[in-house]
Structure 1
Amino acid sequence: MLDKLFTGARTCSLWLTWLGGALIVLSAFLVTLEVFLRKLFNVSLGGADEISGYAFGVATALALSFALFERAHIRVDALLGAIPKALHPYINLLGLLLLTGFALVIVVMVWGMVGDTLDNGSRSITPMRVPLAIPQIPWLLGWVFFVFSGVLIALVAIRQHFRGDEAGVQNLIGVKSLDEQIEDETV
């Protein structure tokens, strides 16, 4: 069951990343259209910058999980070479749990913020007067899925460790090797 959940979450993270990418592309088209209309016809659509800001925030949150599954989050691993290799899985798991814990703090704070936004009917202080819950809810969902993914990956890594599959743990939560990084860039 854990494997099915893991595979499903990984696939979902890919689709969420594509959705976030589509938001970025659409906002780029919107901003480009805005620039051309201003330059050629001295007309503004208004709000292109606001919408693109919301799109960027939502797209980023939606892509966090995929980066976690791909081991693409930035790490400071300068000391990892000085630590015995037998401790690497524990250090990597600790790093994953700390990252997930930090994301959980963000989720709790954002949950309260979205609740306040809904209770107060808050809107942006721009001419568009966007109900702030519209960008905040998908942003929150991206963070919630990130926390879920972090916990799921940690559980799978712990299971791999207890099964004695240290290579599996490395492939799941370890720092990518130089060869893996090169392969990612050439594909």
Structure 2
Amino acid sequence: MQGLLKLSRAIDWLNAQVGKYVIWLIFAATVVSALNAVIRKVFNISSNGFLEVQWYLFAWSFLVAAGFTLLHREHVRIDVLNSRLPVKARLWIDIIGFALFLTPLCLVVLYLGVPLLVEKFQSGEMSGNPGGLIRWPVWLALPIGFTLLMLQGWSELIKRVAFLRGEGPDPLGRLTDKSAEEELAEALRREAAAKAAAESAPAPAAR
């Protein structure tokens, strides 16, 4: 189990690093969108390539960051009933979900998606739109994204089994991994709160 927990921590680290940098794809899509709008208005020039590169970047951002999202438990869940269940019941629901639903789904997507990626790479398929882009780079996000998601599902599965065996922390507990920016912001908030409390405290009565 300790070896599996090391594997889990390695997967968590990998998806944390991916999530840290994939956010720049959103920024890049925003920049491309703004430049396209400016060029179209000022020079009356545009291209379908500008539009397609935006959704390429968007596709990469949400597919490749799927594992990072699962790591931080940010996927949409229906917790009306689940949140009222005992911790062990919630853990078993997650274990069954990761093992019998998430993993098979990812394997099916990889089984069907990788041959399509290879086919489009070998054929050099281009977009059907005038000025469109080559297709295989956006298809590449599919196997990468679902591989990272599957690995994170295994990591979450390991953490839940370890907790049930009494060999790991509560995987449903509060997330404590924060970025340096978040830690700095929290420290500044604590400092401001302490300063405000000191200023609002009544002065000692004079004798």
Q: In the TM superposition, what whole-angstrom CA distance separates every residue of 1:3-50 from its partner, at most 9, and x where no partner exists?
A: 333223222212222332111111211110110111122122541110
Structure 1 counterpart of 2:115, one-letter code: G
- How far off its partner does 1:161 sit? 1.4
C-alpha RMSD of matched pairs (Å): 2.6
- How far off its partner does 1:81 sit? 4.8
* In 2, Cα distance between equivalents of 1:159 and 1:37: 56
- How far off its partner does 1:91 sit? 1.2
2:10 alignment partner in structure 1: 8
- Normalised TM-score (structure 1): 0.79
- Matching residue within 127, 130, 152 for 2:130: 127
CA spacing shift, 1:105–1:159, aligned 2, 3 Å: same
* In 1, Cα distance between equivalents of 2:26 and 2:102: 25
- How far off its partner does 1:90 sit? 0.7
- Matching residue within 99, 110, 116 for 2:102: 99
- How far off its partner does 1:72 sit? 1.0
How many residues align? The count is: 175
Is 1:48 aligned with 2:50?
yes
* In 2, Cα distance between equivalents of 1:65 and 1:153: 10
Is 1:170 aligned with 2:172?
yes
CA spacing shift, 1:86–1:9, aligned 2, 3 Å: closer
CA contact (8 A) 1:19 1:59 kept: no
Secondary structure (helix, strand or coil) at the match of 1:43 reads coil
1:139 alignment partner in structure 2: 142
Structure 1 counterpart of 2:140, one-letter code: I
CA contact (8 A) 2:125 2:135 kept: yes
- Greater Rg, structure 1 or structure 2? 2
- How far off its partner does 1:84 sit? 4.7
2:164 alignment partner in structure 1: 161
Unmatched tracts of structure 1, length 5 or more? 178-183
Please show how residues 71-90 of structure 1 align to structure 2 within 5 Å: 71-81=73-83, 83-90=85-92
Unmatched tracts of structure 2, length 5 or more? 176-181, 187-207
1:69 alignment partner in structure 2: 71
CA contact (8 A) 1:161 1:169 kept: no
Is 1:115 aligned with 2:142?
no
1:180 alignment partner in structure 2: none
- Normalised TM-score (structure 2): 0.72
CA contact (8 A) 1:17 1:63 kept: yes
Structure 2 counterpart of 1:44, one-letter code: S
* In 2, Cα distance between equivalents of 1:89 and 1:130: 45
* In 2, Cα distance between equivalents of 1:46 and 1:84: 53
Comparing 47-56 with 152-161, greater Cα deviation is found at 152-161
- How far off its partner does 1:69 sit? 0.9
Q: Percent identity?
A: 20
